Amino acid sequence: RSVQLLNVPEHATYADLVAVVRGGILFDLSIVRRAGTATITFAEMASAAAYYAHVRDNDLYIKSKRVDIRWSDRFQNLHEHFAKRIVNGATRNLVMRKYNASHTEASIRKDLEHIHNLKVVAIYFYDGSCHISTNSVPSAMYARTCMMSRLKYKGCRIEWDVDECAQPLSQMPVMSRRRAPPFPVAHAARSVRNTSNRFQLLASEATSEE
């Protein structure tokens, strides 16, 4: 379920990365800058296979630089606990309802900076809600628990947000040597919410791997 992008530009961000990934909910993202690689782990193996085939058949660019793809040498096993949480709606993204003026991008980033391996991809305010994009489902789960336990966030409703990467592969941005479109994609929520058959094989997949 993990693929690796090669020749990733040195200054590529996590936002640049999620802008060029479509086809399925992501479990984890990581960038190794010194190696120029990025590892993308999908929640479903079928999504990883479809994305791999799509990138092999079509040019993929990040910051105007062509990148290659290969299967990751390390197989990422999806524990049944995470599989069930994803089936029940967990994603790498959070949405905070009923936020107040004290909740700014800077303050939220500061509140989350202690979480090991958590990368905040983006924080943006839209339509009365605060959307927080992270790099992994486990990190988002921990971040949600931490935020809900703090008095500062009392009265807020912190829920799972849609993963824009779950849009179909047909929604892959047309790169053609151009810079990736800015994050976030405005219509991502509508596209993902219309997706049917949400991870019906995910739980059985995880069980068979145990």
Q: Encoding tokens for residue 195?
A: 């997706």
**CA nearest neighbour of 186 among 162, 170, 156:** 162
Measure the CA–CA gap between 155 and 153, rounded to whole angstroms.
Answer: 6
pLDDT in tens, 154-173: 889 999 999 999 999 988 87
Task: Indicate if the pLDDT at residue 177 is higher than 70.
Answer: no
Q: What's the pLDDT at 74? A: 78
Task: Indicate if the pLDDT at residue 195 is higher than 60.
Answer: no
Task: Indicate if the pLDDT at residue 185 is higher than 50.
Answer: no
Instruction: Kindly state which CATH superfamily the domain 92-160 is placed in.
Output: RRM (RNA recognition motif) domain (3.30.70.330)
pLDDT in tens, 63-86: 999 999 999 987 667 888 999 999
Task: Indicate if the pLDDT at residue 207 is higher than 80.
Answer: no
> For 149-155, what is the mean pLDDT?
90
Q: What is the largest CA-CA distance in the chain?
A: 50
Strand order of the β-sheet with 2-6 is 26-32, 37-42, 2-6, 68-71
Non-local CB neighbours of 2 within 8 Å, separated by 6+ positions? 39, 40, 41, 42, 48, 71, 72, 74, 75, 76
> For 171-178, what is the mean pLDDT?
62
Measure the CA–CA gap between 112 and 130, rounded to whole angstroms.
Answer: 14
> For 39-55, what is the mean pLDDT?
95
Q: Where are the domains of the chain?
A: 2-72+164-183, 92-160
Q: What's the pLDDT at 52? A: 96
Q: What's the pLDDT at 208? A: 47
Q: What's the pLDDT at 175? A: 56
Higher pLDDT, 75 or 4: 4
Q: Encoding tokens for residue 157?
A: 């409703």
Asked if domains 2-72+164-183 and 92-160 share a fold, the reply is yes
Mean pLDDT of the chain: 85
Pairing of strands 2-6, 93-97: unpaired
Topology of the domain comprising 2-72+164-183: Alpha-Beta Plaits (3.30.70)
pLDDT in tens, 99-113: 888 899 999 999 999
pLDDT band at 202 (very low <50, low <70, confident <90, very high): low
% of the chain exceeding 70 in pLDDT: 81
